[in-house]
Every structure is written in structure tokens, then in C-alpha cells.
Amino acid sequence: MHHSHNRATLGGKLSAVLVAAGSSVGLGNIWRFPYVAGDNGGGAFLVIYILCVLLLGLPLMLAEFSVGRATHRNAVGAYRALDKRWSFLGYNGVLAAFLILGFYFVVSGWTAEYMVHSVTGSLAKYTTAQEYQSIFENFIQNPWRPVLYTLLFVLATHFVIALGVQKGIERSAKVLMPLLFVILIALAIHSLLMPGGGEGFRFFFQPDFSKVTPSTLLVALGQAFFSLSIGIGTMVTYASYFKPETNLRHTALNVTILDTLVAILAGVVIFPAVFSVGIEPTSGPSLVFITLPSIFNGMPLSMVWSSVFFLLLVVAALTSTISLHEVITAYCHEEWHMSRRAAAWTTTAATALLGIMASLSVGILNGWKLFGLNLFDLLDYLTANIMLPVGGLFTCLFVGWKLDQQVLKDQITNHGALKFRIYRTFIFLLRYLCPIVMLLVFLDNLGVF
Ligand code: PHE
């Protein structure tokens, strides 16, 4: 196996958890989770989602960590080093990272704009949810402002990567993540106490399985993978920088728990408020951008709350865009033999272009549709519901059946230094349960049953 020299490794004990959690916790938890849960019936979706996270997501994250740290390579190089025929898995990841960044940068730009409007006080000028809906629509359909914010976000990501200020991000994440947690809890309490909030609480926690369709299962699976950043080579790439003594299974468990708690908390913030101010829980990607300002509006010191909250959201988004950018940068750097600088600029230029197109596709180019979806929705659907689950399926098959079991054991137990009592359960999940469940979900969606 190759061990490339002078490759960076991550510092202190906490960093593995921090950077991996930084990648996982992002807009996927706070923007995407509530909107897909709302679209897919609420409570029943939550139950299925949690099952997907525990039974499929967690073992897969551990599998990806093992592949990354065993090879010390980018996503493509890692699979190639283990078995040439499986390098397509890495390509699927690099391509998915590119396509995700296309719409993720746009939504990140929206959060940056909302942060600015919170600080200047202009967000606090409105009162009703209907007003917030129309300012949101006006904003995203504006031909240049969202594009500008998208580009700003692309550049911010680029400079963090290029200047190697990951350390700074690592350190600030230590403070900002707990703060995000505290704010979410405060907002959740406020939201629950809003008049009519109980109905939203029931919507989110009372499963109504009659609303479950084949697509609910696929969407839950896709959302779990998206939120945990798996099925795409991000965790392979990050783990390639982990130290030999990092405990992979603790890292995977901590990241999974943290990520899921943030998503659930986001649901407890959003749904009571949605019902209280009378918005449809099925209003799609705009859901949180209409709901959140309405929540802040009813709070004392609303400007402070919303400024701090959107700032944290910007930071959470940034640590995720960095991880996606890194997948592509590491690939270009190591496989195309570019300097890191050139690799980072190539990634930045390509994703900026796609981001601009995606941003315009919800505004002036909204008429351009493929399969009935504009570019923004298409990128979102294609990556989360197809490329990530497919990537996950093949990762299971590869690690469960193809990979030398000794390599896997060595990574998980740090060459025998740690115990892993549930190894057999883990292998069973990877070999049988995960692939079978995923296949059934796919076939179900293709209408086979
Ligand atoms: N997990 C991130 C989020 O929830 C998004 C992401 C997906 C990041 C895939 C990396 C890889 O916001």
C-alpha cells in the first residue's frame, strides 16, 4: 500500500471528530432536513430517517474512514490503491462533490445574505410569514445579488483551503458548534411555546405510516447520507489525514450522534413555528428561510438572535463546503499532479461556474427545465437521491466483500490496540443488511414491486 510522504495530518485528539463533524453538520441538518421531512409526512419520515442513520449510515462512515486511513489517498486514489476496478467509486464521489457544491454554494449564499440583513436590521422590518415569503422570493429571483453572495462564499471557501487556515476553523469550531447547539435549544423552546406550536410538534413526532411511499424511503436514505457526508468520498478524504492513533469507531459514533441531534433539534425549531405562523410544511427549499425570520420576529432582541444564528449557519455551511472542495482539490492535486494551489483554483473556478448557473436557475433561468426540474433542484435530487445512495451501496459491497478483512480490522482496532466487540455485527450489516435494504429501496422506486 502506498504511503505518500509529507502529507498533512490533523493535530490534537479532538480534531478528527471536529473536522468530520464540521463536514457533517451543515445546511443538510438545518435547511435540508426540515424541508424534506416536511415534504414527506413528518413523524414517519423521522423514524425511517433515524433507522437509516443507525443501520446504514454509521457502518458506512466507519467503512469510509477505514478506506481513507488505510490508503492515505484522495477518494479516487484510495479505491484504486485497494482494487483498480473499484476506482469508479472514487469518481462517483468527486463528481457528486462537484454537483453538490453547485447548489450548496447557492444556499450558503442565501444564509450569508440573511446574516447581513439581520445585522443591518432590515430583516426585522417585516412581520407576517407572507411578507417573509415574498422577500425571500424576490431575493432569490434577483439576477445578481444571490449570484454575488454565491461567489463570495466560493471565495471564502477557497481562501480557507488555500491559506491552510483549517487550524483556525478547527479551533473556532470548538466554540461555535456548542454555541449553535445552545441557540438551537433556545429557539426550540421559543418555537414550542408559540400559539399553535403543539400541532407542529405532533406533526414531527407522531408517525403516520399511511403517508409512507417508496419515495419516502429513498428520500430518507438520501438525506441520511447527505447529512452524514457519506457515499461520496468526503470521509475517505478526511480520514486520509487522520493519525494512526485516532479511534475510528468513536469518531464515527460521535459524529453520527451529533449530526442527528442537530437535525432533530432543527425540526423542533421549525415545525411548531411552521404551524403557528400558518405556512405549509411542504413548501420546499424556502421553508426555513421563511420560518426562521418569523420565529426571530416574535423574540425580544430579535436582531441579536437572528444575527448570531445566521452567522453560525454560515460557519456550519463553510465547514461543509470546505470538505466538499477538499474532495475535488485532493483529487486534482494527487491524480492530475497539479500543485495544490492550481488544484484548488481549478476546483474553485469550476464550482463557481456551476454555482452561478444554479443560482440563476431559481430566478431568471427558471424556465430551463430537465425532467421537470430546474438546475438547482436537479442537482439536489440527482446527488442526494441517486449518487450518494449508489455510492453508499457500492461502498458496502466493496468493504464488505472485496476488501481484505485484515485491512479493515487493522484500521478499526488500530492494529489490535483497541477492542471491537461488535465486529461481526458490523460485517453482517455491511455485507447483507445494508446492500439488501438499499437494493430493495431502489427497486421499489423503480416500481418493480
Ligand atoms: N453533510 C453536509 C451537510 O449536512 C453536506 C455534505 C454532503 C458535505 C456530502 C460533504 C459531503 O450540510
28 by Cβ neighbours in 10 Å (0-12 / 13-18 / 19+) ranks as buried
End-to-end, the C-alpha distance of the chain in Å comes to: 44
- 294 to 132, 182, 191: CA distances (angstroms): 7, 19, 10
Query: What does pTM read for this prediction?
Result: 0.94
Ligand 1 neighbourhood includes 320 CB (under 6 angstroms): yes
Residue 308 and residue 292: Cα distance in Å, rounded? 13
Section 329-355 average pLDDT: 95
What's residue 283's pLDDT?
86
pLDDT of 401 above 80? yes
Query: Are 26 and 313 within 8 A, CB to CB?
Result: no
CA R_g for the chain: 21
Yes or no: say if 161 and 321 are a contact pair by the CB < 8 Å rule.
no
Tell me the Ramachandran region of residue 8: left when phi exceeds 0, alpha when psi lies from -120 to 50, beta otherwise.
beta
Residue 13 — very low, low, confident or very high, per pLDDT cuts 50/70/90?
A: low
Which residues neighbour 232 within 8 Å (Cβ) at sequence distance 6 or greater? 75, 92, 93, 96, 97, 100, 225, 327, 383, 387, 388, 391
Tens of pLDDT, residue by residue over 70-81, are 999 999 999 999
Atom of ligand 1 nearest to the CA of 26: 12
Ligand 1 centre from 131 Cα, in Å?
30
Number of Cβ within 10 Å of residue 381's Cβ equals 16
Which atom of ligand 1 is the closest one to the Cα of 321? Answer: 8
Give yes or no for residue 153 CB within 6 A of ligand 1. no
Which among 133, 68, 145, 78 is positioned nearest to 109, based on CA atoms?
A: 145
**Does any ligand 1 atom lie closer than 6 A to the CB of residue 324?**
yes
Give the integer Cα–Cα distance in Å for 75 and 89: 8
Helix (H, G, I), strand (E, B) or coil at 230: coil
Q: Take residue 126 and report the three cell numbers written for it.
A: 417585516
pLDDT band, very low/low/confident/very high, at 160 (cuts 50, 70, 90)? confident
Nearest atom (ligand 1) to Cα of 320:
8
CA–CA separation, 413 and 250 (whole Å): 11
pLDDT at 63 exceeding the cut of 80: yes
User: Is the C-beta atom of 56 inside 6 A of ligand 1?
Assistant: no
Scanning the structure block, which residue is given the C-alpha cell 481549478? 346
110: closest CA among 153, 60, 172, 171? 153
**Binding site membership of 234 for ligand 1 (Cβ less than 6 Å):** yes
* Residue from 217, 230, 174, 286 nearest 444 by CA: 217
The ligand 1 atom nearest the CA atom of 23: 8
Which cell numbers hold the place of 253? 459514533
pLDDT digits (tens, 9 = 90+) for 21-34: 999 999 999 999 99
Q: Which residues pair with 373 in a beta bridge?
A: 370
- Measured from the Cβ of residue 406, the count of other Cβ atoms closer than 10 Å reads 9
- Each residue's pLDDT tens digit, 164-202: 656 666 766 777 888 888 999 999 999 999 999 999 999
pLDDT band for position 113 (50/70/90)? very high
- Burial (CB < 10 A; 0-12, 13-18, 19+), residue 438, is buried
How far does the centroid of ligand 1 lie from the alpha carbon of residue 441, in Å?
22
Task: Give the Cβ contact number of residue 280 at 10 Å.
Answer: 12
Q: What's the 100 CA to ligand 1 centre distance in angstroms?
A: 8
**Closest ligand 1 atom to Cα of 316:** 12
321 lines ligand 1 (CB under 6 A): no
What backbone phi and psi angles, to 5 degrees, belong to 262?
-65, -40
Separation of CA 416 and ligand 1 centre (Å): 32
d(CA 69, CA 141): 44
Which atom from ligand 1 is nearest to the alpha carbon of 31? 12
CB 199 within 8 A of CB 274: no
C-alpha of residue 384 to centroid of ligand 1, in Å? 10
**Does the Cβ of 28 fall within 6 Å of ligand 1?**
yes
Determine whether the shortest distance from the Cβ of 29 to ligand 1 is under 6 A.
yes
> Which range among 173-187, 243-257, 313-327, 422-436 shows the weakest confidence by mean pLDDT?
173-187
Ligand 1 in reach of 232 Cβ (< 6 A): yes
pLDDT exceeds 60 at position 6:
no
* 143 three-class SS: coil
- Angle of CA points 48, 51, 53, to nearest 5°: 110
Q: Does the pLDDT of residue 150 top 70, yes or no?
A: yes
* 3-state SS class at 370: strand
Separation of CA 195 and ligand 1 centre (Å): 34
Query: Do the Cβ atoms of 434 and 56 come closer than 8 Å?
Result: yes
Look at ligand 1, atom 4, and give the residue with the nearest C-alpha: 28
- Where do we find the cell 436557475? 361
**Long-range contacts of the stretch 376-383 (C-beta < 8 A, 24+):** 376/103, 376/106, 376/285, 377/285, 379/99, 379/100, 379/102, 379/103, 379/354, 380/103, 380/285, 382/99, 383/96, 383/99, 383/100, 383/226, 383/232
Residue 100 CB less than 6 A away from ligand 1:
yes
Mutate to test the pocket of ligand 1, among 320, 329, 351 (most ligand atoms within 8 A of CB): 320
Q: Is the CB of 323 under 6 A from ligand 1?
A: yes
> With bands split at pLDDT 50, 70 and 90, how would you rate the model's confidence at 2?
very low
